Amino acid sequence: MKPAIISLCLFLSLLHCLRAQSCVSETFSSNRVYSSCNSLPYLGASLHWNYHSSNGTVDVAYRAPESSSGWIAWAVNPTGSGMIGANAFLAFPGSNGAVTLYTTKFSSYTVEASGVKNENLSFPVYSKQAEYENGYYTIFAALELPNNSTKLNTVWQASTQFQNGVPNGHPSGDNLLSKTNLDFLSGEAVSAGGNSRLRRKNIHGVLNSISWGILMPIGAIMARYVKVFKAADPAWFYLHVACQCSAYIIGISGWGLGLKLGSESVGITYHKHRDIAIALFCLATVQVFALLLRPNKEHKYRIYWNVYHHSVGYCIIILSIVNIFEGFDILDPAKKWKHAYIGVIATLGGVALVLEAVTWPIVLRRRSRSSEKSHHGVNGANGYGVRQHQVV
């Protein structure tokens, strides 16, 4: 056991050294040399710099892999940890084919193409240049560190999305995590919290997929098909209630987490996803509390309650599945998760179709027998049966 632990430690140390060397070994045009570097944790990017303590300035070189038709960006955020407030350097192919470098500020997550323009940043920039070579963009800049602070939040990006000839939009996933707090004096980089936020988004998605998207349909299958079998009575009812109540409790947890995430995402509103979620919460809450008003089977209003209960229930299931796919589009996880959920829904749909085919003949036979019994009962009540017997 001891040799295995020692080997693991040596292996991790080797990985750390290789990662450090990945940026140390990089070279730049015009014989530029930098005393510090950091292999950034996302997008395959690296940052190199020389810090000048005498005047609080820094020379930087940001490098990231991207196609020649794409763009990269590196930014300093003096007021926050993400895109809002970021003072960015954007390198992209210009209309003449040469690499263009913009300095621009971002005040919201939703940026129109007209808002991406070359402008002064909130701190002095003494020089800037960008180039593209061997599949990598590199941004060179000399700037004054805001507030004379060596610890700053930095953000970086790489994408191929454009609008009206300027960079506009990027994927999610690692692109949402590409930020860190960097100490230009010591070279230490600390996560800016992107992992925690993405983790909460994933938890939100898992909770809602399991509750609204899986447990709710299973509960409906229990109520529609399992109750047909007399041996399952009244177990089907308790299974149905257990599924739906569990789905509601778990779903409300996911819904609350979604509200929290939304309150933290100033400037970002997924209107369709949010509106469907609110509708689901309202319908599900009414559906749960409607159980307290359920009439007895013999009550004259029971048929109306059944129509309401079934209609609202199916509406909840349809809206749930639609909103889960909306969530997939927003979170943009690995394709396997979306395919896995499609497989689960397809399986439940297949089970429902099989049970539909199996239970309908049972229901029809049962109705036929009930109709015959009712007919004989009426004959016996009005005396016709007795008179026919007397005639014979």
Is 240 part of any known ligand binding site? yes
- The tokens of 392 are what? 């014979």
Is 376 part of any known ligand binding site? no
CB-CB neighbours of 338 under 10 Å:
17
Is 204 part of any known ligand binding site? yes
Q: What string of DSSP letters covers 176-242?
A: HH-EEEEETTT--EEE-SHHHHHHHHHHHHHHHHHIIIIIHHHHHHHHHTGGGSGGGTTHHHHHHHH
* Close Cβ partners of 167 (under 8 Å, ≥ 6 residues apart): 71, 73, 90, 92, 116, 159, 161
Specify burial of residue 135 (Cβ count, 10 A radius: 0-12, 13-18, 19+).
exposed
- Give me the phi and psi of 329, to 5 degrees please: -65, -35
Check residue 128 and give left, alpha or beta (phi > 0: left; psi -120 to 50: alpha): beta
Separation between Cα atoms, residue 319 and residue 287, nearest integer Å? 14
Identify whether the C-beta of residue 208 lies closer than 8 Å to the C-beta of residue 255. Answer: yes
Identify whether the C-beta of residue 71 lies closer than 8 Å to the C-beta of residue 163. Answer: no
- The tokens of 275 are what? 């509106």
Return the closest-CA partner of residue 267 out of 122, 111, 77: 111
- The tokens of 13 are what? 């140390």
Separation between Cα atoms, residue 13 and residue 36, nearest integer Å? 20
Identify whether the C-beta of residue 28 lies closer than 8 Å to the C-beta of residue 129. Answer: no
CB-CB neighbours of 269 under 10 Å:
12
- The tokens of 257 are what? 């987490």
With vertex at residue 203, the alpha carbon angle to CA 201 and CA 208, rounded to the nearest 5 degrees, is: 100
The DSSP bridge pattern shows strands 71-77 and 151-159 to be antiparallel
Is 299 part of any known ligand binding site? no
Measured between alpha carbons, how far is residue 225 from residues 245, 312, 370 in Å? 19, 18, 19
Binding residues are 204, 240, 273, 309
Binding residues for heme b are 204, 240, 273, 309
